[in-house]
Amino acid sequence: MTTEDDNRPARRRVTLTGISSRAWEHPADRGALSALRELRGFDDVVKTFFGMWNERGFRLQFLAGAIRVDHRQYPRVYQRFTEAASTLDVAELPELFVSQNPVINGQAIGLERPFIVITTGAVDKLDDDELRALLGHEIGHVRSGHAVYKTIMQILTGWLATISWLPVGVMALRAIIAAMYEWWRKAELSADRAGLLAGQDPAASLRLLMKLAGGGDLSQIDTAAFLEQAAEYEGGGDLRDSLHKIGLTAWSSHPVPVARAAELRKWIDSGEYAQIVAGDYQRRDSDGDASVTEDVKAAAKAYREDFANSQDPLVGLVRRLGGGAADLAGSAAGKAYNWATDAARRGRQDNGGDGTPQA
C-alpha cells in the first residue's frame, strides 16, 4: 500500500528506555491521577465492580465487529504500532482493533486489560508518521492509566441517561462527570505528548491534529494558518465568544483540535520535548518516589499560569477586576493542596505509616 510519506527519508527515533508516563503527563492530568490513586482501594473497587461485565462486553463488541490487528491483519498498522511501543519502551503490546468508521479516531478502553481501537478512517487517511503518532497517543493513554478512568466516565455517562428522572441523582452525577471531563481534556494533552514522543516528528503530530479538524486531505491546508486559527480561538472575540467556548467544551471529553495543536506547540517551545529526546526524563523505577502533594501543587501552578497567561476575553476581564481574582485562584489552589496533603497522610496511616502500599 502506498502512503503519503513513502518518499520522505526515514526519521531516526530515540528509544526512551525506562521512560515513566510521568514524563509526558500534563501537570493537571498528573495531579488528578495522583489524587485518585491516593484513595486507597479505589481502583480495586472500580475494577471489581465494573470489570465483572463491562470490560468483557466492551472487548466482545470489538472482537465480534472489528478487525484485531497483528502481523497478518493490517500489517502496516501493526508495524507502526510496534514502532510506537518500542520507542516508548512498552514491551507488552495491548490488543489493537480497527473498527469500521470513516472518521479519524482512536480510543483506549478497559479496566484490567485495556485495549486500543482505531478507525478505518485513521488507517485510510493517515500517513505512516501520523499513524505512528496516533498509536503512540493511545499507548500513552494506556501507560498513564487513563483507560480505567475513561471507562468509568463512559459508564457514568450511561448512568446519567438511565436516572435522568431523578433530579438529585442527576445533579450529583453531572457534577462528577463535569469534573471528569475537565480531567479528561488534560489527559488528552498528555496523550498528545506521548504521541509526539512515539513518533518524534512534530510536523506529523501537527498534521494529525489538522486532519482531525479538517479531514484527510492537507493539500490545501497550511500549518501556519492552522496555528493562527488556534491563536484566534484562544484570544479573539469578546465575552460572548468566551461564553460560547465554555458551552463548547464543558461537556466535551476532548479539547478542540486547534487548542490541542497550540498546547503541543507550546510544550515543544518550552524545551521539555527536546529535553526528553536528549535522555533527560523521569523513569519508571522512580515512580515510587512520586509525591501526591507535589503533583497537586504542580497542577495548581499550571492552572494559575493558564489563568495568568490566557488571552480569553472573559479571563482577561476577571484578571482586570484586581487582586480578588488572584485571591480566588490562590484559595482554590490552596484547598486542592490541603486536600492532597490530608489524602497522603491518610494513605500513609492506612499503609502502616511508611507510605508503602500493602497487598
Residue 331 in domain: no
Give me the tens of pLDDT residue by residue for the chain, a chain 359 residues long.
434 444 555 678 999 999 999 999 988 887 777 666 665 555 565 656 555 556 677 888 899 999 999 999 999 999 999 999 999 999 999 999 999 999 999 999 887 788 999 999 999 999 999 999 999 999 999 998 887 777 776 666 666 556 555 555 556 566 666 667 777 888 899 999 999 999 999 999 999 999 998 877 788 888 888 888 888 877 666 666 666 666 666 656 677 888 899 889 999 999 999 999 999 999 999 887 766 667 667 666 765 666 566 566 555 556 567 554 444 444 444 444 454 445 445 444 444 444 433 33
pTM for this predicted structure = 0.75
Residue 102 in domain: yes
Q: What is the rounded distance in angstroms from the CA atom of residue 201 to the CA atom of residue 135? A: 13
Q: What is the rounded distance in angstroms from the CA atom of residue 67 to the CA atom of residue 120? A: 10
Residue 167 in domain: yes
Residue 314 in domain: yes
Residues with Cβ within 8 Å of 190's Cβ and at least 6 positions away in sequence, in order, are 21, 24, 25, 26, 29, 30, 140, 144, 146
**How far is CA 92 from each of CA 81, 115, 154, 208, 350, rounded to the nearest angstrom?**
12, 12, 26, 25, 32
Whether 189 and 256 have beta carbons less than 8 Å apart is answered as no
Residue 215 in domain: no
Domain count, the chain: 1
Q: Cell numbers of 18, please?
A: 525506562
Give the three-state DSSP class for 163: coil
Residue 26 in domain: yes
Among 108, 110, 132, 109, CA closest to 122:
132
Domain, as residue range, for 284: 21-209+220-322
Which residues are paired to 97 by β-bridges?
68, 117
Residue 8 in domain: no
Residue 355 in domain: no
